[in-house]
Structure 1
Amino acid sequence: MTDRPDDPEIPLAPFPFAPAGSPFPPPRPAPVEPLREQVPADPPGDWIAAADAHDRPITEAPRSQTGALIAQPLIALGRFAFPPGPPTDDEGLSARDRRWASRTIVIATGFLLIFNAVSIQNWSRQQAPGWVTTTVRRLADVWVEQISQLGADQPREAVRDGYEAMRDGGRAER
């Protein structure tokens, strides 16, 4: 750039040149991409077998009173930052089943330890005397006392009393 309009342009590089095309012709003509027809979109309620369930919104987007969509930036950020994982394979399904079974066993054991603690005490009394059975019996006695102070043995006692009353009532009528 100069102050006079008739001065030639000053090149930015010391040896200006225009990049020339390749002197060799292409071996084949470039492939022409075929024109694609406009395919009509499927209706929103139509079943698409190849659709991924993770792409569908979980709930309908909230709308304002005028009907305009309300932006949900946290949901959009969550889906961008933590996209749903791929569907689980057979190994993942079996691991989930094992977790479910182990959780069920732990919950059932805890339930029985709390609400049926007397059965441990009765079992320990039926065993042959020894160091292990004596220790189990003492621990069971302490455990039953603590559970009875909490009142967790009342449902078991109510069921047992009802069973005994029904059993005794049936014998008296005969």
Structure 2
Amino acid sequence: MSEPTDPIDPFPTRAQPPVSPFPPLEEPTAADPPSDWIDAADAHDLPTRENALVALGRFAFPPAPPLDEEGEAARARRWTSQTVLVACVFLMIFNAGSVQNWARQQPPGWTQSTIDRLATVWVEQLALLGADQPVEGLRQLWREAQTLRFDGGRDKAAPDA
């Protein structure tokens, strides 16, 4: 039984390879005629055509005129207001316990008790949503780090929280 022979070429052809339109690498190439070469020419100096979508966008939605000082000031105030609002909302959600702690440090009175009650309800509602989980996770990691000793064991005197 004879073994089939695998062709050397992965895409076997019966004909010889076609003749290349390029000259062999060993032969020197002819120099460009002097009329085809301009020493001062640069390909980056050639005019380029603008992208059709960019031109359509500029036609359909022309850029607004530049803002005057009053418009710039209004934009800055708007940006600052949005940044402060986002920071306040973030802190109200993820740092709600601070308001409760602050209210407990104030002298007793109607305002203090009202703020303390509102803060307590707010913290309880956020706990139902799970917004206190990141803070509690960090607090638990801190407590575990406090109980570690240099030899890698746990401190036996530290209370479990």
TM value normalised by structure 1: 0.52
- 1:145 maps to 124
Segments of structure 1 that go 5 or more residues without pairing to the other structure are 1-41, 46-56, 63-71
Change (3 A) 1:159 1:92: same
Cα RMSD (Å): 2.9
- The structure 2 residue matched to 1:119, chosen from 69, 79, 98, is 98
Shift of 1:77: 7.2
Shift of 1:44: 3.9
- 2:72 maps to 93
Shift of 1:106: 0.4
Change (3 A) 1:152 1:127: same
The AA in structure 1 aligned to 2:68 is D
* Distance in 2, Cα, partners of 1:170 & 1:77: 70
* Distance in 2, Cα, partners of 1:105 & 1:89: 24
For 1:9-28, what aligned pairs fall within 5 Å after superposition? Answer: none
Secondary structure of 2:86's aligned partner: helix
Shift of 1:143: 0.4
- 1:61 maps to 52
The AA in structure 2 aligned to 1:78 is A
Shift of 1:162: 1.5
- 1:78 maps to 60
Shift of 1:170: 5.8
- 1:163 maps to 142
Deviations along 1:113-171, one digit per CA (max 9) or x if unpaired, are 01111111111111111000000000011101100000011001111221232234369
Secondary structure of 1:97's aligned partner: helix
Identity %: 49
Segments of structure 2 that go 5 or more residues without pairing to the other structure are 1-44, 156-161
Change (3 A) 1:132 1:170: farther
The AA in structure 2 aligned to 1:134 is S
- 2:18 maps to none
Change (3 A) 1:135 1:170: farther
The AA in structure 2 aligned to 1:105 is V
- 1:67 maps to none
